[in-house]
Every structure is written in structure tokens, then in C-alpha cells.
Structure 1
């Protein structure tokens, strides 16, 4: 499988379709693919290495969900606890019945932020949490579902902070990343001293046209200001990279694949969750029409269901998250696979590399 994947990503880079790319695969707790190709920084020619972190947008949501589940398994959180029990201010404007389960399934009803917000606003944790707590819900929590592109991470992150007394970036490092030996490759807020290690993003040709062709009246765009919509400039911004914004994340493919592998089974002596908890959090929670994008989106507790790029109905046991720009990470309890792809040519359209390489890996594992 290593050779197949390496050949595939070399071809993507050689053809000019991709700039720099990482793919990592674990199977039954063992790493079977660690492939890299291309350059991490086109300005200097610095090559991609296995430990190069890439800003990977909403692929980080799967990392946030994992932190929540680790805490829940230890009794620090309960999915059906009203959020107001930890965060009383959140109950404003009729949100007092909202639960952690509602937040995980994007059904909490606060998907939007004001159009005036810019990246520096995102770095103000207390300000963002106060703004979200005081927002009026678009629907009664629990009655509909709709992708919370920006607000999702703050709601869950503040619940984690109130429950533990620690910012979610610290909890990620201490409870998930450090035990797995990936603390320097899996981040929310990246330490400023580490910024020089990161891959530099570049917008794919035609990105502006792709965005312009999307429906202007899509609720997702009304809920997320252009300044906060991920792009190469957004993912290269030190303000964004160094802030805790757990609706996204910065990671190497091998780090996030290792995290997913440790959800499925033991990895070098570490397993993040027991089997019963894994079954609970990966079961179908909602498959309703998403109010932000207008089509049904099967979801578990904090993860999408179905392999990115594939018909979710054909791969219902797969759970994970894609990120705008073309990165993704997922795991499949049915096959014991965990997969991650990160890249720095930021493509807002269909994630063709994720689709192609993910299918290649799945086929190789079952063939």
C-alpha cells in the first residue's frame, strides 16, 4: 500500500495538480503508509516532511470531537447535560435546553456570526464566546441540524474549558496528543516558535471562480463572513494559526491518522476510548437535511459519516471530517483503517485528491 500511495501522490505533484501533500494510513493500530511529496513552502523550496504540520480547516473538528469524547469517557462531561449547567450565559434567548449532544450534532441553532467579524476577532476567545452565548438561535436547539462552520469549536471549546479549567488546546496536548507522541504535530493554537515548520498554503488556480459559482444565497455563506471563510491567506495568517479556533486545526497527516487509529484500537499501548464508547459516538445521530447547505448530511457525535468523496450510503461505517481546501481524516471500524491526507494547494471545490487516494487505500485494504 505504501508504494501505491507514494506513486499516486508523486503523480499528483508531478502533474502540477498538487503542490505538497502528505498521506498516512494506519491499519489495526499499525502504520502502513507514511507518504509525502512536493514542497511545503513554494517560496523557499522546503520539501514536505512527515512531521510538517498543515493548516487543515475543518478536519480539525474531528480532533475537537475526540477531545470531548475522551473527557466524556472519564466522566468530566455528559452528552445530555444542558450547556447552561457549565456555562450559564449560554442560555440567553431561549437556548437553555441546549445540550452537549446538540452541539456535537450541529443542531444547537447558533450557526452564524456577525458579518463584521475578521480574523483578529476569532483570536479573542472570551469575546467570541460572549457573542455566541448572547446570539439568538436560528431554530430551537435540537429541532434541526445545520453546519456550524465557525461557532461549533467555540461552543465545544468553552464547555471543555468550563469543565476542566483548561483551554482546549492544552487538553488536546495533555490528554490526546502527548500520550500518542504527536504533541508537536497536532494543534489548535500553534506556538509562535513553531510557525516556521508549517506548510505554506497556496490557492489553487480557479479558486475565485469556484467560490463565485456557488449559490450566493446559500445560508452557509450568510452565516460565515468572507473574511472567516478558509482560504490560503486565512490558513497562512499567524493570527489564525496561533489562536485557539477549534473549528479548524493544524496537523500532519500521520498525527491525525494516529489519533483516529487510537480511537479504533490500541496504538503503541495507547487507546483513547473503549469499544462501547466508540460504538456510541460513531452511530448515526442525524441524517436530516442540513439547513446550511440544503442536502442531507449523515452525522454521528461530532463526526460526519461516510468516506469523503464517496456516497455516504456506501461507506456508512466510516467516521471523520473533511476540511475546506481538500484535507480530510477518517477511520473505519469495519476495516480497521484510519486515513489522513493533508495538502497545501487550497482547493475550495471537490476534494479530488482525498476522493482518489481514499478510494485507493480502501480498495487496497479489501482487495
Structure 2
């Protein structure tokens, strides 16, 4: 039986039981956190950092959470919109003039956040090391045409969304997205989440473990095309990946830090005396941008501003299993981060879902 450490309010004991069962079954090492009204009611971790199960997962262990990082990017955009620094209805080219090339003058920031910008990938082949050159990667996106008219097609942007939003953030603040996030979000909240990881934290990183039998299998491409770039799980375990700013997929943290940051949305914009958004700014996340079958994921979905939305709940997850769910009605936030990746469908696997359902059961008990 896996050893679990941390704290868990008695009302949320089912979360602990579900987490323990997951560690005994599919997981190697993982963490789960639940916040209500911005206050932690579950903060658990357990298992091991390595596949050989020789090194325990500690309280401060962090891991690459892949696309769960997108929720941090979206939060930064919502904050800047709330401050009036950017207008989500404005064309991207208003802040990034070069982006208007190849007929993209009509692409608005809300199209990028809502996955209807028509730029799901780079038009020309790009390699993983080339992603580490921010100026080149963003210049390529600025120069290429969109596949579809703005707002016409809902299509998940696995990597490009973070570069697109990140470049707008850089243009309007003078700071890269990683620095903006560190100074305006993680720092004030005391959240151990990083977009571009300094070397001093390497010793705390749990390497991601590829899905069983798929160590060299890249993330899927679009419409049967070869993936561009062809990212494999092991890419995240390199020093170059950790140092780079890959805002759509390169964030490092654990469930505690992911949940803490995202609980801002569930708590009306402020946590622990730190206000990042107005209440109206939080509600904007629910503004529907697209409803239908996603062209890339091939599943029915509803997109708000940077998140999947269902009712008054917003969420997103990462390749292989990490996830965060934020419920603005119940003021509940659930986050899960792990090192063992699984492939059980376009929108994740049952581990995170089981923990979310257990948290809702605990919330019902509390009521």
C-alpha cells in the first residue's frame, strides 16, 4: 500500500481513499489538492519520483504538468484584461503589429483564448529545440496565414496558444510570460509554480514517465498530419525544456501550487489577502467562445476564455493526466499532478476525474 503524506479534512476522506487507490494502481508518484473558498482542505502527496520506486515523492516535489500550464497563461490574460491593459475583443495585431501579416488582421485575442484563431500549429516544420528560441517561434506564427477564418472552427492549439498569448503579454508589459507570471501571480500568492524553471529547482523535479508502451510516441497531429513539432514525453526531462518558456506545456508545479493559483477564480479574485482579479474579471472565464466538436480533439466541447467550461465550472488538463477543475458556484478547486502518464482519451484519464468526484462528495458532506 502506498504511503500518503499531507493533510486532509475529515469531510474529504473520500479524496484520500481515492488517491491512495490510484497510487496503488496506476500512479508512481502524485499529489492532489482541494481548496474551498481559497482555503486548502486537502493537500496530499505520495508514491515515488522515479519509475524504479526508490526515491519518495516529497512535499516540495514538482513535475512538468504539460497543458495544465495553459490555465496559468489564461489567468495572466484575464488579469491584464481586468486591468484594462489589453482588450480581449481587440485584434492581436493591435499589440503585435507583425501578426497582421498573411491576412490575420481579424484574429482577436478572444479567438486565441477560445481556440478559434485558426493557428493550431506552425505552418512550416519546427523542431522541439527550435521552440526554445522565443523570437523565432513567435515570428513564424506572425508570418503564417491562419487555416480558417477567425471564429469559424474550434480547434485546440496544443502549443501555439501559449506562444501567441505570451507574445502579447511581452509586447504590453515588457516581460516574458514566465517573468510576468512569477512576479504578478506566483510570487504574491507564494505558489511554487514555474514557467521556465531555474536550475536551482532541478533537484526537486520528478521526471515524467511516458505512458506504458509509448515511450517514443509523440503527441498526435491534426487531421492525420505528422505532429509539428513531434514532442515525446522524454523531451520534458531535458534541462533545455525546463529552462525554456513553453507556456502551453512547460509549466512545473504540483497540485498544491496549481490549485492555489486557480482557486483565485473560485474565490472571487482574491486568495489569502492577495487580489489578482475583480469578481467580474473572474466571471469572464465563462464567456462562451465556441461550442461544438473540436477539430483536433474530435470531441464535443465548450470553450470559454482559455478554459473548457461546463455551467459555472472551468477546467483543463495536461497530456497524460494532470488536471485542474474550478467551480465558481461552489468555490471549489481540485488539482492533481503526477509523473506517470497514461493515455485513455483526448480529455485525460480516470485518475483526476475520480479525485474531482470525490471532492464533490466531500463538499456535499460539508453542506
Aligned twin of 1:359: 357
Deviation of residue 330 (structure 1)?
1.7
Aligned twin of 2:292: 288
Aligned twin of 1:201: 208
Deviation of residue 57 (structure 1)?
0.6
Q: Deviations over 1:277-326 (max 9, x none)?
A: 112222322112222233321011001114xxxxxxxxx22102111110
Query: Is 1:331 aligned to 2:322, yes or no?
Result: no
Which among 257, 268, 273 is matched to residue 269 of structure 1?
A: 273
Query: Is 1:7 aligned to 2:17, yes or no?
Result: yes
| Stretches of structure 1 lacking an aligned partner (at least 5 in a row) | 307-315
2:236 & 2:45 partners in 1: Cα distance? 20
| SS at 2:138 equivalent | helix
Deviation of residue 2 (structure 1)?
4.7
| SS at 2:99 equivalent | helix
1:295 & 1:252 partners in 2: Cα distance? 28
Aligned twin of 1:22: 31
2:60 & 2:339 partners in 1: Cα distance? 14
CA contact 1:26–1:257 (8 Å) conserved in 2: yes
Q: Deviations over 1:56-105 (max 9, x none)?
A: 11000011000111111111111011111111111111101111111111
Query: Is 1:105 aligned to 2:114, yes or no?
Result: yes
2:45 & 2:12 partners in 1: Cα distance? 11
Aligned twin of 2:178: 169
CA contact 1:107–1:146 (8 Å) conserved in 2: yes
CA contact 1:263–1:272 (8 Å) conserved in 2: no
Aligned twin of 1:340: 335
1:366 & 1:145 partners in 2: Cα distance? 35
Q: Deviations over 1:181-204 (max 9, x none)?
A: 11xx21111012211211111123
1:61 & 1:145 partners in 2: Cα distance? 17
Q: Bigger shift: 275-284 or 110-119?
A: 110-119
Quickly say closer, same or farther: Cα 1:91–1:114, change in 2 above 3 A: closer
Q: Bigger shift: 283-292 or 331-340?
A: 283-292
2:265 & 2:298 partners in 1: Cα distance? 31
Quickly say closer, same or farther: Cα 1:93–1:223, change in 2 above 3 A: farther
| Stretches of structure 2 lacking an aligned partner (at least 5 in a row) | 1-10
| SS at 2:335 equivalent | strand
Deviation of residue 157 (structure 1)?
0.1
Aligned twin of 2:225: 222
Tell me the matched-pair count: 349
- Equivalences for 1:177-188 in 2 at 5 Å? 177-182=186-191, 185-188=192-195
Q: Deviations over 1:220-241 (max 9, x none)?
A: 663733622x52x022122212
CA contact 2:67–2:319 (8 Å) conserved in 1: yes
RMSD: 2.1
Aligned twin of 1:34: 43
Normalised by the size of structure 1, how large is the TM-score? 0.89
CA contact 2:111–2:289 (8 Å) conserved in 1: no
- Equivalences for 1:228-243 in 2 at 5 Å? 228=231, 230-231=232-233, 233-243=234-244
| SS at 2:30 equivalent | strand
Normalised by the size of structure 2, how large is the TM-score? 0.89
Query: Is 1:153 aligned to 2:162, yes or no?
Result: yes
CA contact 1:26–1:261 (8 Å) conserved in 2: yes
1:320 & 1:2 partners in 2: Cα distance? 20
Query: Is 1:132 aligned to 2:141, yes or no?
Result: yes
Q: Deviations over 1:252-298 (max 9, x none)?
A: 11111011112222321123211111122223221122222333210
Quickly say closer, same or farther: Cα 1:220–1:161, change in 2 above 3 A: farther
Q: Which runs of 4+ in 1 moved over 4 A?
A: none
